[in-house]
Amino acid sequence: MASAVVIHEAAQKVFTPETLRSAAKQSVGCLVVPVRLRRAIKKYIREQEQPHMKRKVLSLSQSLNEIKGVNLQLTATTSKELFDDPLKSVDQSKRWKIQSSYGDIGLMYRDDETIAYVASRMPAVFSACHRVLKEVRRRLPGFSPSTVLDFGAGTGSAFWALREVWPQSLEKVNLIEPSQSMQRAGRSLIQGLKNLPLIHSYESIETLTKNIKKSERKHDIVIASYVLGEIPSLKDRITTVRQLWDLTKDVLVLVEPGTPQGSSIISQMRSHILWMEKRKLRKLKIGTNDDTTKEKDLVADAQKTGAFIVAPCAHDGTCPLEKGGTYCHFVQRLERTSIQRIYKRSKGKPLRGFEDEKFSYVVFRRGQRPKEAWPLNGMKFDTLKEQHAKRNPEDLEIDYEDLVKQQQQQQQQDIVLYEEPDPVTYDSDVMETTDVDEINEIDDDDDEETPADLGSGWGRIIFSPIRRGKQVTMNICRSTKPDGSEGAYDRVIVTKSKNPTLHHQARRSLWGDLWPF
């Protein structure tokens, strides 16, 4: 018995109730840090043999908290015009001249800070980058980057995530990291890895552009993770992102901590990149006037010019959360490594075996947003009464012998399922005995056969859905126009009586998943 009837034949080929659930799934459960990275971290920490590691980890945590305060003051004293239209507030001779860099905000990564970072923060940053990049792979199934630029590479968290998501396609990776200590740690961590791409390290964007050919400056994907918040000047942040965008051939990924300050940085950079590309498109239109030949050129140039949001936004308009008193961020749970459990402190309580890494992000892609039909267009869902009316009476007959067998099997499964776990043993510790070569042979089975398209018909679930009885309440950021030019932040309530199919999907949806419209 089908619970949804598809009206249009074209819609039936794209989505069914089953493929809707598969395409909307973007969140990842409790992530286990890969064996290779855990072994590399453990080996690196063992080689350092640094005393007072817990004190150094605590000191690093305090330094990162101080950066939040500096960013809070910076946001409060900055005019909105600076990132909406920065050309109004800057002299021609001083436009886009970087006067500061990350590290000037007060946190310098020397040997002590680097060791503490590898022990405590690197797995969490890896998990956030892995979650974002895995969604990029899902939403862009034909995208396989060969050239990569990692700005603010640090010890290589984003690089490790890139290798996990696209293990076969990477050919050349350029890393930008001014800290020599971080560079040394990154090189130490990748020692012994097989099939590494060609890797070059640079201290700044200027050094990169001077040492490579102009034809090789464009990268398939550019990522800047947990770095923009360490640049003390908002104008310099914008300048840096503009430079990264100029070095981007296809996809630009920005990731920041999931704090109000980190979300504000992402929102500002999102606004500026979209404003800048719309401005270029307006200039192209003004230059064509009424010339028909130029209009044809405009259509071709418009497909190359522009930018749209791949994730998390379903639209390219003003962020509806800016004036809503809340901020856009997501959570990735990860199982703590054995090194984290040794050196991280807990406030008077036993340290949990997992932690939740909050992050904010945005993914840009060059070009225009594809015009796709909304996933629910042409689909008619039965109500609960209609489903009951269509039931076959023969399906309601109960075979008591089969029922008794099923109950006995369930009881046996329950005995195994609810066996008391060993409180000392963790899954990550067991996996560390696994052969690395065997892990390389494991295929990733979670790729969707029908991925969610890049049209404006998919909203984003913000915060955890609330489940009450037979209804589910979700806060969703969505597009209000088919072209994705405007967005809204709506509360959607799905009840089992009106739409049992979507109610079934809503009950299994998590924070960060997509929702079809």
- In the chain, which residues fall in CATH 3.40.50.150? 24-82+99-366
Q: Which pLDDT does position 98 carry in this prediction?
A: 55
Q: Reduced to 3 DSSP states, what percent helix, strand and coil does the chain have, rounded to the nearest 5?
A: 45, 20, 35
What does the pLDDT read at residue 449?
Answer: 59
pLDDT digits (tens, 9 = 90+) for 280-312: 888 776 665 555 555 555 555 555 678 999 989
The angle, 0 to 180 degrees and rounded to 10, between the axes of the packed helices 35-48 and 111-120 is 150
Report how far apart the first and last C-alpha atoms of the chain are (Å, whole number): 24
CA 249, CA 256: separation in Å to the nearest integer? 22
Return the H-helix or E-strand segment holding 227: none
Distance CA(50)–CA(421), nearest Å, equals 34
CATH superfamily to which 24-82+99-366 belongs: Vaccinia Virus protein VP39 (3.40.50.150)
Three-class secondary structure of residue 103 per DSSP: coil
Do 123 and 33 touch, CB atoms closer than 8 A? yes
Q: What is the pTM of this model?
A: 0.80
Residue 376 one-letter amino acid: L
Residue 420: what pLDDT? 36
Q: What is the pLDDT of residues 452-506, one digit of tens each?
A: 888 888 999 999 999 998 899 999 999 998 888 888 999 999 998 888 888 888 8
Which residues, in sequence order, are CB contacts of 151 under 8 Å at separation 6+? 176, 205, 222, 223, 224, 227, 240, 244
| Other CB atoms within 10 A of residue 15 CB | 27
Q: Compute the distance between CA of residue 161 and CA of residue 40 in angstroms, rounded to an integer.
A: 14
What averages of pLDDT result for each successive group of 10 residues across the chain (517 residues)?
Answer: 37 63 85 91 80 59 56 49 50 48 57 82 93 94 93 92 93 92 90 90 90 89 92 86 94 94 92 90 68 53 76 90 85 87 68 88 93 81 69 60 69 45 41 39 47 86 91 92 88 88 88 90
**Among candidate residues 61, 63, 116, the one with its CA nearest the CA of residue 230:** 63
**Between helices 260-288 and 292-304, what is the axis angle to 10°?**
160
